Chains A and B, each alone.
Chain A
């Protein structure tokens, strides 16, 4: 009889006890749906398979930041975790998208998949730069932590009119982040853009990540700074207050506001950008930056039928198909030529 009593006493200190299953359900259910629009919120996991070098690990972390806030920023994967483990967790947590980094034969690959059914798009990352690299290359990197509180806008370009794999890819990218309802969205929550542009000639997809900065049009830099900094300006060298405004500041004011980049705001975004005023949209890259090539599309989650490139079935193909296939084969042949070398390098690494 004593034991339950003591147990109850201990529990009392901790507060109400909620069964783990219920708790999990609540956690999973609460943020699954947008509270304003009622739309389902897509969530993502970004993780890696196999051994990847440290730069790719940084890239993985950057990608997680891109996918914020509906992603697991500190997701830890172990060597023994397989895809099924992630899939099992994804269900109850409402995770709908996987981004899987891997480095087979020293060629970095990014697989984007929808759970639990697929499809899976496999990209080969031809070039990439980390967010840190981009910040280093900029004179004034701008990356306030507040911009990661809302998911990015996704801007797609050049995907239309290129047939099947890209058609579905557009859908995939669109549903990767919560849909935006123009009637209810607050402009102050739009602080990042994810640009995905398909280059037909090179066959590559450019992946860029920018921060949005709004600047009031027709307001001089000094006033802007005065409003932003909330500090008393340094007037020591001036004879009159008006000098502060009239005195020319840095000559490099880029006042070349093209009309295309100005918007008239409907609601106050911040102190500077008030409603019913014109503001210029400025983008600054925050990274990561990737140049990817679509190599494979599978119907399932990292499995299933290969939808792209169209598998060769002997005897059934027409001439056009063979031509296209040959071109692709050439590409893949190039890749395979590179692979053995890399494979041998890998072997030496292991030794």
Chain B
């Protein structure tokens, strides 16, 4: 822009235009002239649009499109000023081009020639769009030059995806970084929820063994206390009448079966029903089992003996016709009562 500075200073006297506003605009800057014009204009339609979005607006849009495609200065409608401007622009552009050449150094001679010819055409009164094209062409050239001068790494994927690849990589990295705190937060949350939760080990630790020992001691102590408290009942002496009461309760079933046994025996002796024989046998077995725990052949307590309450008369009864039952009774020691004597 060092070259543009003096140009701008020199411009005002040459552009002694009737419209001061336009002069001002032109004086403001040359490089971004068209852009600035457009911007200044674009403000107005926005204001209008708010009020009437109508055919007028469409028309304006069309106009703007036309403006974009063609030179801005056409709007001004003053040929003379245009000419002046072009004349003004031309040397400036030349100088600019030179400047570029100096900077980049590798601009081809042909390009310059082309630019020169185009400007020549312009000077010859050609269409205003040519200038624009020339400018765009130069920009494109510069951009292309830049791209081509880039040194690319030997990549099988080619240079086109390189930027994209970088983006993807950056995005992935970002995600990973995002995920990390998320996972950590979840872990922390779980840790907080599980605080104090300790999984027991497979083997028993010494501490736990001790605890089991203590608990076992406690249980043993209780069981011993219970056995101490409840023992007297089992140590009853059957011969004493006081203890007999206790036994009576405990061996009530035994007593019951004995009584049934006697009844069955009497019945069996009366009639030779095999049914009663079977009953007798069954009860015999039962009584045998119930008394199997006791070593003595005959229980010490009188009612449990088979001779209990059996008068001599009864015995005689049995003896009369009890040959069939005998065989069974010999098997069972408890059923011997009737055959004794």
A residues with a Cβ closer than 8 A to B are 53-55, 106-108, 125-130, 133-134, 136-137, 153, 155, 157, 180, 182-183, 185, 187, 190, 193, 195, 197, 206, 208, 210, 212, 260-267, 275-276, 281-283, 285, 289, 342, 345-346, 348-349
Contacts and interface: CB of A to CB of B under 8 A. Distances in A.
B219 A266 contact: no
Residue from the set B196, B214, B218, B233 with the largest chain A CB neighbour count within 10 Å: B196
Contact of B234 (A137, A193, A208, A266): A266
A346 B199 contact: no
11 contacts: A107-B195, A108-B196, A127-B197, A193-B215, A193-B219, A260-B217, A260-B220, A266-B230, A266-B234, A275-B234, A349-B189
B10 interface: no
A316 B66 CA distance: 97
Contact of B226 (A137, A266, A342): A266
Nearest 8 interchain pairs by C-beta = A155-B218, A53-B193, A182-B229, A263-B223, A195-B215, A106-B192, A266-B227, A137-B200
B211 A208 contact: yes
B76 to A, nearest CB: 62
Nearest to A346: B192
Contacts of A266: 226-227, 230-231, 233-234
Nearest to B194: A55
B37 interface: no
A182 B200 contact: no
A53 B193 CA distance: 5
Contacts of A187: 223, 226
B30 to A, nearest CB: 57
Contacts of A267: 230
Contacts of B233: 266
A121 B189 CA distance: 28
Contacts of A264: 227
A206 B211 contact: yes
B201 interface: yes
Interface residues of B, number: 36
A136 B201 CA distance: 10
Contacts of A133: 199-200
B203 to A, nearest CB: 9
B223 A265 contact: yes
Contacts of B198: 127-129
Given A129-B199, A137-B200, A197-B211, A281 B219 contact: yes
B172 interface: no
Contact of B188 (A54, A107, A283, A348): A348
Contact of B218 (A55, A106, A195, A265): A195
Given A53-B193, A108-B196, A348-B189, A157 B223 contact: no
B222 A153 contact: yes
B164 interface: no
Given A193-B215, A260-B220, A346-B192, A182 B185 contact: no
A345 B192 contact: yes
A147 B227 CA distance: 21
A258 to B, nearest CB: 9
Interface string B2-34: 000000000000000000000000000000000
A128 B214 CA distance: 20
B211 to A, nearest CB: 5
Given A265-B223, A266-B231, A349 B192 contact: yes
A276 B233 CA distance: 12
Given A55-B194, A130-B197, A260-B217, 11 more contacts: A106-B192, A106-B195, A107-B196, A128-B196, A137-B202, A183-B229, A190-B222, A260-B216, A266-B226, A275-B234, A281-B216
Given A190-B222, A283-B219, A129 B197 contact: yes
A276 B224 CA distance: 12
B150 interface: no
B170 interface: no
Given A155-B219, A182-B228, A265-B223, A195 B199 contact: no
A182 B230 contact: yes
Contacts of A55: 193-194, 197
Nearest to B212: A283
B302 interface: no
A36 to B, nearest CB: 13
Contacts of B234: 266, 275-276
A194 B234 CA distance: 30
B196 A285 contact: no
A113 B226 CA distance: 30
Interface string B173-215: 0000000000001001100111111111110000010011011
A153 B189 contact: no
B142 interface: no
A276 B227 CA distance: 10
Nearest to A212: B219
Contacts of A261: 216, 220
Contacts of B219: 153, 155, 190, 193, 212, 281, 283
Nearest to A344: B188
Given A208-B215, A267-B230, A285-B212, A126 B196 contact: yes
Contacts of A346: 192
Contacts of A349: 189, 192
B149 to A, nearest CB: 52
A180 B202 CA distance: 34
Nearest to B229: A182
Nearest to A54: B193
B332 interface: no
B216 to A, nearest CB: 5
A27 B215 CA distance: 35
A342 B227 CA distance: 53
Residue from the set B200, B208, B212, B225 with the largest chain A CB neighbour count within 10 Å: B200
B195 A197 contact: no
